[in-house]
Amino acid sequence: MSRPDLPALTIADLQSLLRRKEVSPREVIQSLRTWIENVEPKIDAYLSIDFDTAIREAEKVDVALSLGGVPIAIKDIINVKGQPCTCGSKILGNYRPPYDATVIQKLRAAGAIPFGKTNMDEFAMGSSTENSSVKVTRNPWDLSRVPGGSSGGSAAAVAADAAFGGLGTDTGGSIRQPASLSGVVGLKPSYGRVSRFGLVAFASSLDQVGPLTKTVRDSAMIMNAMAGHDPQDSTSLPDPVPDYTKNLGRDVKGIRLGTPKEYRIEGLDPEVKSAVNAAIKQLESLGAEIVDVTLPHTDYGIAVYYFLATAEASANLARFDGVRYGYRAKDPKDLLDHYGRTREEGFGAEVKRRIILGTYVLSSGYYDAYYVRAQKVRELIRQDFVKAFEKVDVIISPTSPVPAFKLGERTADPLAMYLADIFTNTGNLAGICGISVPCGLAKVKGSQLPIGLQILGKALDEARIFQVAHAYEQSTDWHKQRPKL
């Protein structure tokens, strides 16, 4: 039996129903399937869905587990055994991984059911989900606009109640920015807090897996399940994992919130500025202390990020050559022709652009001038945050400088697209944690478009940003606002 009320529930509320046996995991999958069939033609959030396997898993799942019976959507860059993993690219169009990523193993151990793979910018390179080689995902709040990227499929699915929660990846803002544009909660964990084993690498020193959810509590629940050390990931940290739900509900009295002067830029949309200022005042009314801080090397963030990220992408994507798996050019004349045509035909324009830029950055004669220098400035950016966190507990800013923009509006201007991550990519460069929570709705040409508040914390201080985000969320109604589809 399908219950139309189920897809709108949060993970916490759904878990409560499952444990009281008021609904079965099978009913949950069937209800979600019915709703997805209704909204998916409008938003195009999914690249593949395996309901048959999900129902079989639902029949035997233990609902007493922390996520027992909860279906989770997975960004199509994370390996789920037997399900396609295309990374939104033609070059991996027929690839099905023979193993689960560590985060999938951990979610399964907690009782979650990974049932579908969501659309994304090809190899996570983009800020709008328009770079997918398969299709374009639309924002549920306004179908003529982007959901953000590169985790736009997961963000749109959660916003449209087509997923109770989803996984994304964040290399320069690719969880937080679509969370902001789609009106959901998006967490980028600290670097090393969540295993990257089984994640197809874009930029290995920046990538992190994190949740996209309807509420802060749901985000904390997923993090409880998937955080922790993994010996299969050499960058995974051995530090103990706290219960991230423990501090939810605690007040923010005496917590120091830093507001960086460098984030008060001219290009900030007036309604975004107003909503974030109102959110800061709301937190102040809850007892938080507002402190001005400075992050003096912020202006170099975009340039440093695109030197380092493209360099790492150039190295990581060299493995896609059509020899062992993936797309292969037909009838090549020789090996060189095979390599050249396979990559030319298999990669999209944005991926090619970044591979070329990254190869140039790493080339002889330019390595010291660009790559090495960018690494030195990256350390200066990291030190900016270290010094700021000596004065404050968290840092507050907008997540995105603008609400969701129109489909096609920035595709011809890569620089304008890159600037969508101006408030988020320094967090990746510094390796710290950050969360985006809904804080307002902008009125733009007849549409109401979500605005996100970003809360940044020290490395491994996810518990603190969850506490602040939850206190703000529960004192407002923004997280309860849903798009009308």
Report d(CA 206, CA 196) in Å as an integer.
Answer: 11
H helix runs in 183-332, sequence order: 216-226, 270-285, 301-316
In the set 75, 106, 117, 458, the catalytic residue is 75
Give DSSP secondary structure letters for 440-459.
EEEEETTEEEEEEEEEEE-T
CA dist., res. 293 & res. 280, Å (int): 14
Is-catalytic flag, 150? Answer: yes
Alpha helices in 174-249 (DSSP H): 176-182, 216-226
The residue among 353, 345, 335 whose CA lies nearest residue 93 is 345
Whether 205 is catalytic is no
The answer to whether 135 and 163 are in contact (CB under 8 A) is no
Distance CA(214)–CA(14), nearest Å, equals 12
Q: Which of 150, 180, 400, 436 is catalytic?
A: 150
Kindly name the residue from 128, 174, 219, 436 that is annotated as catalytic: 174
Torsion angle in degrees (nearest 10) through CA of 285, 289, 295, 301: -40
Residue 193 φ then ψ, to 5°: -75, -30
Neighbours of 466 (CB within 10 A): 28
Question: Is residue 66 annotated as a catalytic residue, yes or no?
Answer: no
Query: To which H or E segment does residue 207 belong?
Result: none
Cis peptide before 190 (omega within 30 of 0): no
What residues are annotated to the active site?
75, 150, 174
